[in-house]
Amino acid sequence: MRSWEGSILIAIGSTYANLGDYTNAIRVHQEALEIFIELEDLLGQGNALNEMALAYRNLNEPAKALELFELSLEKLYQVEEATSSQSGLSLSSEEATTKGNIARTLNDLGRYDEALTIANEVLDFRRQEGDLFRVSVTLNDIGNIYLNLGDFENALSFYQEALKIRISQNNLEGQSITLARIGAVFEQQQRTDLAIIFYKRSIDVTETLRAEVVPEDYQESYLVAVDNTYRLLAELLLQRNRILEAQQVLELLKVEEIREFTRATYTTEGLQYDPLEESVVEAHDSLMAVGAQIYPCDPDCDQTLYDQQIELEAYYDQQVLTFEETVRRGRAEDDVFYDPTNLASDAFDIVNAQPGTVLIYPFVQEDDLWLLWTATGGVVGSVKVETIDHAEAELGRAVFRFRELLKRQDAQSFAELKRTGQQLYGWLIEPLKEELEKNNIQQLVFAQDRTSRYLPMAALHDGDQFLIERYTVSTVLSAALTDTTDRLGDVNSTQALALGLDQAISGYSRLPNVREELDGVVKTDAADPQGIYPGQVFMNNDFTFATLSQQVRRYRILHIATHAEFVPYRDGESFILSGTGEKLTIAEIGSLDTQFDNLHLVVLSACQTALGDEALDGTEIAGVSSYFLGKNKAEAVLATLWRVDDEGTSLLMQRFYEILATGQVTKAEALQQAQLSLLQGEEFLTERLAVIQAGQTPRGSLVPVNPTEDEPSGLSHPYYWAPFILIGNGL
C-alpha cells in the first residue's frame, strides 16, 4: 500500500509541475521520496529525485537540479546492479532519460562540452532503442548545445534532423519548438529577416495545434516557450519597423494568453507572409517533407527520393539567397512586401469607430518597453521607451507600489502616489504625447500586457492632472475579440438583469449598499420612482446560478453586485459569490455563453484582483473577462481591479447609469464622467448632466466640469473611483 501511495504522490507532483506550480511539485515529490526511502525502493527513489530535479530546473535553480539528477542516476545504477539487467543496450531507458536531463542542465550552467558528451551518449542509445520521438528530443537538445557554443552549422543540422522526424510523426508541438530554435539560430547570426520567417512558421504550427488538441494537454514549460516565441517575433518585427505585423503578433499573443488561462479553444487566422517570405517557407516545407519520407527507410530508400532531396536542398538554398539579397538591396519597403493596410484591420475598426481614438499596445519585454499605436485614419507608429532599462521588473515594481499607495489616504502617501503615477505616465503616455496632440486624440484604448493589466490607467498623473481628466480610458482583450458594431440602445428598449448580495454569508462581510445600488439602476415596474433601466432584481437567496441561467438571455445588461475574485494562474479559482453563499466559478458561468448572445454590457461591481506580488502578469483579468466577451457574447465588461468602499461603488454605479441613460455619451464617456463626479466631490450630478444633455460639448470631447487641483479626500480619492475599468466595446 505504501508503494502505491508513493506512486500516487509522484502523479500528483507531476500534475502540479504541468500546471507550473513547481514549489508544490517539489513538496509532494519529497513526500514520495521519503516513502520510497522507507521501503528501500531504489527505482522509486530515482524517479522521485528526477521529478524534483525537473521542478528545480524549471525554477531556474540548475545547480540544485544537477545535484538531484546525479543522485537519481546513482539510484538507477544501483537498480541495474541489483537486478543484473542485461538488455544488450548501453543504458536503461530510465538512465538515458536522467542523463538527458543532466545534459540539459549542464547546458543551462554553461558547461557545454560536458553536456555535448553526455547528450551524444544518450543519442546513441535512443537510436539503438528505436524510439524516434525520443531521438528527436535528443537531437533538439544537441542543437541547443551547439547554438550556445556558437556552432551554427551543426546547430542547424541537428535541428533539421529533429524537424524531419517530428514532421514524419505529425508531432506539431515538437515542430513548433524546433522551428523556433531554427529562428533563434538565424537571429544569433544576425540574419533577422530569416529569423522572422521561422518564428512566424513556429507560431503558425502552434495555431494549427491549438485547433486540434485539447488545451489541458499542454505542459506549462511548453506554454512558456510558446509565449517567448510570440514575444521574440514581435520584438524583431519592431526592430525592422514592421509595426502592423508586430501588432498582429501581439493580437495572437493576447488570444494565446486567454487560451492558456481558460483552457478554452479560440481560433485565429494566423500570420501573413509577404511573397518572398512565402517562397522560403514553401521551399523549406518541401525539403522537410521529403526528409520526413526518407528518415524511416534511410539508407535503403528509393533513389528518386534522394535525388528529390538534393534538388530541393539546392532550391531552398537559392530561395534563401534571393530573399536575403532582396532585403540587403533595401527592397523590403517596396511593393514586394505586404501593403500594411491589409494588416490589423481589427485595430482599424476600433479606432475608426469613433473619431479621436487611439489604440495603444504596451509591449513589455524583460529589458525593453515598446509602445505600439494605431489612430483614427490608419495612422500607426511605435516607440521604444528609452527611460526604462529593465522594463519587466521596473514596471512590475512601479505598478505594485502604485497599487499599494492607492490604499492609503494620508497626505504623504498621496504625494508619493502622484510621483509614482508620473513615473508610470512617463513610461506609458509621455512618449506618445506629441502624437496624441497632433492627432487630436480624446479616447485612449489600451490592449494591456503583463503587469500593466493591473494598472488603473485613469489614475496616472502628468504632474498637473489625472489621465481621466484629459481622456476617456478603456481597454480591450484584443482587437480581434472586440465588436464595435453593436450599441446598447435607448433606455426604454434596454432591459437590465440585476443580481445582488447584501448580507454577510460564508465568511464574507455585508455589502449594505448593494440593494440601494441595484434599486437605483433597475426600474422594476412603471411605478418604481428610483430605477433607470427597466428590468428585474434578484437579491440574496433569489440570486442563484439557476436564476442567472434562466433569466440572462432576455436582457441587454447584466449587473452583478456581490463579492467576486479574479485569481491568478487558474480560472477554476476565480469566482462570483451567489446570494446563497455558493462560489460560482467563472468557468461555470462561462458555460452559459450560449445564453449571453443578447447581452451587450456586463457589470461586476464588487470584484477584485489578487495582486500578490510584482511578478504576476494579470492574465486572469483578461481570462475571466473572456468568459463574458467575444463572438455571440457580451460586447463590454465593466469591472473593478479591487473591491472598494461599498458606498463609493454604489454611488459611482448609479451615476454611470444615469449619465449613460442620457443617450448623449458612450459607455467610456459615461464612466469617465461618473469618475470625475467623484473626483471633484460633486454632491449631485445636476450641473454635469445639464452640460451633457444640452449638448454643449460634442460627443467624444467631454471635459471636466470643474478641473481639480486640490488634494482629494473622501470619495474624491482615486482609491474610490480609479479601479473601475471598461473592457471591450467602449461605445
Question: Is 316 part of any domain?
Answer: yes
Residue from 171, 104, 106 nearest 136 by CA: 171
Residues 346 and 389 in one domain: yes
Question: Is 607 part of any domain?
Answer: yes
Residues 505 and 606 in one domain: yes
Residues 31 and 56 in one domain: yes
**pLDDT tens across 279-327, in order?**
999 999 999 999 999 988 888 899 999 999 999 999 999 998 888 887 7
Question: Is 720 part of any domain?
Answer: yes
Is residue 196 within 8 A of residue 237, CB to CB? The reply is yes
Residues 539 and 667 in one domain: yes
pLDDT of residue 223: 66
Residues 466 and 537 in one domain: no
Domain end, chosen from 38, 68, 85, is at: 85
Q: Phi-psi bin for 644: left (phi > 0), alpha (psi -120 to 50), beta?
A: beta
Task: Name beta bridge partners: 561.
Answer: 500
Domain end, chosen from 97, 129, 161, is at: 161
Here the CATH number for the domain that contains residue 123 is 1.25.40.10
Residues with Cβ within 8 Å of residue 459, at least 6 apart in sequence: 402, 406, 421, 466, 467, 468, 718, 722
Residues 132 and 180 in one domain: no
**pLDDT tens across 551-600, in order?**
999 999 999 999 888 777 555 678 899 999 999 987 788 888 889 999 99
Specify the number of domains making up the chain: 6
Q: Inter-axis angle of helices 132-149 and 152-168, to 10 degrees?
A: 160
pLDDT of residue 333: 47
Is residue 726 within 8 A of residue 448, CB to CB? The reply is no
Question: What's the grid cell of residue 627?
Answer: 468568459
Q: d(Cα 131, Cα 113) in Å, to the nearest integer?
A: 25
Question: Is 336 part of any domain?
Answer: no
φ/ψ (deg, to 5) at 297: -105, -5
Question: Is 166 part of any domain?
Answer: no
Residues 157 and 177 in one domain: no
pLDDT of residue 686: 79
Question: Is 32 part of any domain?
Answer: yes
pLDDT of residue 231: 93
Q: d(Cα 669, Cα 443) in Å, to the nearest integer?
A: 9
* CA dist list (Å): 22 to 15, 38, 121, 566: 10, 24, 29, 22
Residues 118 and 213 in one domain: no
Question: Is 687 part of any domain?
Answer: yes
Here the CATH number for the domain that contains residue 365 is 3.30.420
- The list of the chain residues with pLDDT below 70 reads 1, 84-90, 211-223, 260-269, 330-344, 569-572, 609-617, 646, 694-713
Question: What's the grid cell of residue 567?
Answer: 485569481
- What is the span of the domain harbouring residue 119? 88-161
Residues 99 and 153 in one domain: yes
Domain end, chosen from 481, 504, 535, is at: 481
Question: Is 337 part of any domain?
Answer: no
Q: d(Cα 195, Cα 177) in Å, to the nearest integer?
A: 14
pLDDT of residue 236: 93
DSSP for 135-178? HHHHHHHHHHHHHHHT-HHHHHHHHHHHHHHHHHTT-HHHHHHH
Strands 472-475 and 496-500: unpaired
Predicted TM-score of the model (pTM): 0.84
* Number of C-beta neighbours around residue 44 at 10 A: 21
Q: d(Cα 731, Cα 57) in Å, to the nearest integer?
A: 48
Here the CATH number for the domain that contains residue 508 is 3.40.50.720
Q: d(Cα 442, Cα 699) in Å, to the nearest integer?
A: 10
296: cis peptide before it, omega within 30°? no
Residues 120 and 201 in one domain: no
Residues 364 and 436 in one domain: yes
Residues 40 and 115 in one domain: no
Is residue 716 within 8 A of residue 679, CB to CB? The reply is yes
